[in-house]
Amino acid sequence: MCRARTGGGEEDEEPVPVADGFEASIFGARVVGQVSTLALEGEDGPLASLSRVGIASDHAGAWYVATKDSLLHSAAGRVRRVAALPASDEFYTIAASPDGSAVFVADCDCSNHKILRVAVATGAVTTLAGSRTTGSADGVGDAAQFCNPNGIAISPDGGALFVADCNNHKIRRVEVATGEVTTGMVTFLVGDDKERIEHVSKNVLCARSPVFRTMFGIGMKERDAAEITAPKTDLVSFTALIDYLLSDKFDLGEEEGGRAQRALNLREPAQMYQFYRAPPLLGVQRRALQFL
């Protein structure tokens, strides 16, 4: 298991765990620093038999490791068992709460399809959302349905989980306090002419932008809104920004001068929605003035 510093390169950013030999961008973050190997040692020596595992930072310099039947905690190279998990043919993916009190588990076993909560202090495992019935229904607790939830992340404030519901091809939001599961879509009305960008996932936007996390949070009027106004931008530029938020790819056109102008046009909405991790955009902006 390895860890690497990711993101915009800020020294105070927390390293994140990555699978050994794996390289990919995660919500726009890229490896920018040294990668180091974390030894996994149990009471009987290295845990070489673990095979594939799910890993998550405990936000205190150590790591949680999820195997096919256990949640482990690795600190200073030593491992202890936190809780027993339902035996599965698949390894679990996990996310730890910022306060260290709980670890959330995406149970994608073919007989479960649940989001579990593990109390770190006691090892108690409970179901936060989902049931053994597969489907895509939103709801609270066991009224909600998943189909192979095999990825999970937690918001910085610990209030919401974002689940990759694989076979439904959706990002689902789970409220930690209530177990409510939602799959929100929104239409943006862009610019003075209110041109439409339809069927955008609120949950992906929440994962990428703190402004969207607040906008679509509990108690906000936009949470259940079907349409949101995006002022001070144009359809082409805002579409390029949304596409990058959803796919991690920019399409600024082919002509260098046009690319530079569009990058500059994107700067204001990127700043407005506090989305700063956009290396292709920033690279074009730095060259923009020589073409304008």
CATH superfamily of 185-291: Potassium Channel Kv1.1; Chain A (3.30.710.10)
Average the pLDDT over each of 15-19, 65-69, 255-259 and give the range with the smallest value. Answer: 15-19
Least confident piece of the model among 56-65, 104-113, 128-137, 253-262:
253-262
Most confident of 46-55, 83-92, 241-250: 83-92
Helix H or strand E segment including 160? strand 160-165
Task: Look up residue 221 and give its two tokens.
Answer: 């009027």
Q: What is the DSSP letter of 289?
A: G
Residues 77-85: what's their mean pLDDT? 85
Range with top average pLDDT, 21-30, 190-199, 214-223, 247-256: 190-199
Tokens of 54: 């799910």
Q: What is the pTM of this model?
A: 0.65
In whole angstroms, give the CA distance from residue 78 to residue 272. Answer: 44
pLDDT for residue 74 = 81
What is the domain partition of the chain in residue ranges? 1-37, 53-182, 185-291
Identity (one letter) of the amino acid at 195? E
> Nearest CA to 224 among 268, 263, 180?
180
CA gap 117, 82 in Å, rounded: 12
Q: How far apart are CA 283 and CA 185, in angstroms?
A: 31
The reported pLDDT for the residue numbered 143 is: 94
Instruction: Give the residues across from 172 on adjacent strands.
Output: 163
Residue 121's closest CA among 97, 99, 101, 103?
A: 101
What span, in angstroms and rounded, lies between the C-alpha atoms of 98 and 204? 20
The answer to whether 61 and 76 have CB atoms below 8 angstroms apart is: no
pLDDT at 225 over 70: yes
Top-level class of domain 53-182: mainly beta
Among candidate residues 64, 52, 160, 158, the one with its CA nearest the CA of residue 108:
52
